[in-house]
Chains A and B, each alone.
Chain A
Amino acid sequence: MDQPTTIEKSRTAEEFLKGIWKENPVFVAVLGMCPVLAVTNTAINSLAMGLATTFVLFFSSLLVSSLRNVIPKQVRITTFIIIIATFVTVVDFMLAAIVPQVHKELGAFIALIVVNCLILGRQEAFASKNSIRLALADALGMSLGFTFALLCIGVVREVLGSGSLFNVSLFGAGFEPWVIMIMPPGGFFTLGFLLLFFNWLQKRRREKSKGDRQATQYEEAREFL
């Protein structure tokens, strides 16, 4: 492969960064809500789910992008699903072998990574249309963004709901945990507040850029006069 030019490099960085913040799959695109709500009751579970999804998304994008000119258009979705399902099954076996306890707690939700629309969505929208380099940047950015979001929720829920973080007790015996936070309603509460926060951030940014634009327009108008 040729050496990437500066433009290519900056594009790669852009594709990588967008998934982490500007187009975060959870906080902005609100994708993959099933694992986001179901397995974020502890930080460890969140991290494990995030890494499992990262593995699947990374290798699926790698394969889909390298085969993008070989796979006929008519059977592309079927082929993507075969590729994704293969990596999900592999990660399922691997987790059972390496961290049986976590595998037990995540249960069926590992197999359900197959139907996480984040993964098929990235194949269809990005990896199947872009070079391997960009596809990998996109996959890594998106999955790190997903892991980051899961961790945000998991940390809040574990700290409030169990009084611990990564199983390390934080507040001593005097703390009465808010049990509801590790139960399903806690998932909805936490996600709701985080979405609120991200929307507020975005709104503020929009207003700020609008304000800047108006200011420049005003200056231009004055100069013109």
Chain B
Amino acid sequence: MEEKNIQPVMAQELETSSFRLISTLGLAGFFSGLVLVGAFLFTRPIIAANRAQALQEAIFKVLPGCASFRTIELREGRLVMVEEGAPEPREGEEVRRIYAGYNDKGKLIGFAITGEEPGYQDLIVAIFGYNPRKEVVVGFEVLESKETPGLGDKIMKDPAFLSNFRALAVEPPVKVVPKGEKKKDNEIEAITGATISSKAVGRLLEKSLIEWRPLIGEYWKEYKKEGD
């Protein structure tokens, strides 16, 4: 096997035809494509299931008492429930979605809403639970963030900060205040040393609520009417 390498290099280079070069690359590309399509088809359902599970876990976390959820889509200015088993939106397709959570008796208990806002480092993506009957935020969870470890990333796990979102009033609009100065139900106590990240969370909630609250209000009214 080793001997073949000792062939004079020049001769080999002169002998190689253009066709051989092109066909080598063509074949390499062809087999690479086959392998990639195979790997993609094999892993796609697993990756989709992982994503769905992560979303489901987050929804159950931010909506205490939630037992099941349905996806709701914004279509022509109003919220419409997405049919069960409807195909996932294609990549690049702009769809605005929130999730309606139901308790074990099948009653609508709240909505899980995702939002994003620039933090100290990069976009913070988060999901929060909103109870339209009491008009309060009932849970909050960061889905993605690159905030500074040890400081800004406390928005993900600091129990004192997360306790802000057990029953956060949304009217008047939520406000971020320094630690120890929370007096009203609509105020979020910031994390000392992570004011920028805390304020980003405040803005995230405020912006999403401005966008979704009126829509949810209408949806909620209709739901109540049907229920009566």
Contact = CB atoms under 8 A, between A and B. Distances in A.
A96 B25 contact: no
Given A131-B1, A161-B149, A72 B20 contact: yes
Interface string B12-32: 110010001100110011001
A94 B43 contact: yes
B35, B40, B47: residue with the most chain A Cβ atoms closer than 10 Å = B47
Contacts of A74: 13, 16, 21
B39 A79 contact: no
A93 B43 contact: yes
B46 interface: yes
Contacts of B47: 93, 96-97, 100
- Mostly, the A contact residues are helix
Nearest to B12: A73
Interface stretch (A32-40, A112-120, A177-185, A195-203): A177-185
Contacts of B32: 82-83, 85-86
Interface in A159-186: 161, 177, 179, 182-183
A82 B24 CA distance: 11
Interface in A125-172: 129, 131, 161
A6 interface: no
B148 interface: yes
Interface in B37-95: 39-40, 42-43, 46-47, 50-51, 54
Interface in A59-99: 69-75, 78-79, 82-83, 85-86, 89-90, 93-94, 96-98
Given A73-B16, A89-B36, A96-B50, A183 B43 contact: no
B21 A75 contact: yes
Given A82-B28, A96-B47, A97-B43, A69 B4 contact: yes
B5 A90 contact: no
A158 to B, nearest CB: 11
A20 B25 CA distance: 33
Nearest to B31: A86
A174 B43 CA distance: 43
Nearest to B53: A100
Contacts of B50: 96-97, 100
Nearest to B7: A69
A100 B50 CA distance: 7
Nearest to A107: B146
A24 B151 CA distance: 36
Contacts of B42: 93
A97 B43 CA distance: 6
Contacts of B1: 131
Contact of A93 (B21, B40, B54, B148): B40
B16 A72 contact: yes
Contacts of A96: 43, 47, 50
A127 B12 CA distance: 19
A93 B150 contact: no
Contacts of B39: 89-90, 93-94
B5 A129 contact: yes
B21 to A, nearest CB: 5
Nearest to B36: A89
Interface of A: 41, 69-75, 78-79, 82-83, 85-86, 89-90, 93-94, 96-98, 100, 104, 129, 131, 161, 177, 179, 182-183
11 contacts: A69-B4, A70-B24, A79-B28, A82-B29, A86-B35, A94-B39, A97-B43, A97-B50, A100-B51, A131-B1, A177-B150
Interface of B: 1-2, 4-5, 9, 12-13, 16, 20-21, 24-25, 28-29, 32, 35-36, 39-40, 42-43, 46-47, 50-51, 54, 144, 148-151
Given A72-B21, A93-B47, 11 more contacts: A82-B32, A90-B36, A93-B39, A93-B40, A93-B43, A96-B43, A97-B43, A100-B51, A129-B5, A179-B149, A182-B149
Identify the 7 closest CB pairs spanning chains A and B, nearest first.
A179-B150, A97-B46, A97-B43, A93-B43, A86-B32, A100-B50, A90-B39
